[in-house]
Amino acid sequence: MNYFNYIPFLIAFIGFQILAVGSIRSKNVLTLITIYLVLSALNFLPMVVFYILNIQINFIYFIFSLFALSIIVTQFIEKTSIKIIFIYLICQILLVYPAFSFLFSLILNHFIIHQSDQLLFTFLVALYSSMSSLSVSQLIGPRIGRFTKDGRSMAIPGNNIIFIYFGSLIFIFSTIIFFQENNPNWIQFVFSNFSLSIIASSLSSIFIAKKIDPLILISSLFTFMIFTVSGSLVEPFYLVLALTFLISFINIYVQNKIEVKFLFDDPLFLIVPVIISLSSLIIVSSIVNGFGIFFVFILSSAYIWISNLIIIKLINKFSNLRYYPNQEEVGSDLYEIGYEAYPKLFKDF
Q: Could you read off the pLDDT of 233-269 as tens digits, one per residue?
A: 777 778 888 989 999 888 877 877 776 666 667 656 6
User: How many residues does this entry show for the chain?
Assistant: 349
Q: What is the pLDDT of residue 342?
A: 60
The total number of structural domains in the chain stands at 1
Contact 7, 61 (CB under 8 A): no
Does the predicted model carry a pTM greater than 0.75? yes
Q: Which of the residue ranges 32-36, 42-46, 100-104, 217-221 has the most confident prediction, judged by mean pLDDT? A: 32-36
Q: What is the pLDDT of residue 346?
A: 46
Residue 233 lies in a domain: yes
Residue 113 lies in a domain: yes
Residue 347, pLDDT > 60, answer no
Q: How far, in Å, are 33, 196, 221 from residue 171 at the CA level? A: 17, 19, 10
Residue 335, pLDDT > 90, answer no
Domain that holds residue 163: 11-337
Q: Residue-wise over 257-282: b if at least 16 C-beta within 10 A, else e?
A: ebbeeeebbbbbbbbbbbbbbbebbb
Q: Which of 264, 274, 291, 309 is nearest to 125 (CA)?
A: 274
| Side chain identity at residue 260, one-letter code | V
> Which residues are bridge partners to 153 per DSSP?
147
- pLDDT-based confidence at 183, cuts 50/70/90? low
Residue 210, pLDDT > 80, answer no
Task: Work out the average pLDDT over 157-180.
Answer: 86
CATH of the domain at 183: 1.10.3430.10
Mean pLDDT across the chain: 82
- 69-98 residue pLDDT tens: 988 888 788 888 899 999 999 999 888 888
Residue with the larger pLDDT of the pair 187 and 96? 96
Residue 342 lies in a domain: no
Our CA angle for 253, 122, 282, nearest 5°, is 60
Residue 126, pLDDT > 60, answer yes
Residue 6 lies in a domain: no
Contact 322, 80 (CB under 8 A): yes
Residue 3 lies in a domain: no
Q: What is the pLDDT of residue 59?
A: 75
Q: Which of 89, 82, 136 is nearest to 332 (CA)?
A: 82
Distance CA 130, CA 276 (A): 10
Residue 344 lies in a domain: no
Residue with the larger pLDDT of the pair 259 and 304? 304
φ and ψ of 153, to 5 deg:
-80, 135
Q: What percent of the chain has pLDDT over 90?
A: 15
Contact 232, 118 (CB under 8 A): yes
Q: For residue 311, how many other CB atoms are within 10 A of its CB?
A: 20
Task: Work out the average pLDDT over 279-296.
Answer: 83
Residue 345 lies in a domain: no
- DSSP states of 20-86 as a string? HHHHS-GGGHHHHHHHHHHHHHHHTTHHHHHHHTT----THHHHHHHHHHHHHHTTTTTTS-HHHHH
Contact 20, 337 (CB under 8 A): no
Task: Work out the average pLDDT over 194-219.
Answer: 83
Residue with the larger pLDDT of the pair 348 and 233? 233
Q: Which of 284, 212, 270, 293 is nearest to 242 (CA)?
A: 284
Residue 166, pLDDT > 90, answer yes
Residue 310, pLDDT > 90, answer yes
Residue with the larger pLDDT of the pair 251 and 29? 29
Task: Work out the average pLDDT over 312-340.
Answer: 87
Q: What is the pLDDT of residue 130?
A: 87
Residue 346 lies in a domain: no
Task: Work out the average pLDDT over 181-198.
Answer: 80
Q: Which of the residue ranges 38-42, 236-240, 282-286 has the most confident prediction, judged by mean pLDDT? A: 38-42
Q: What is the pLDDT of residue 181?
A: 58
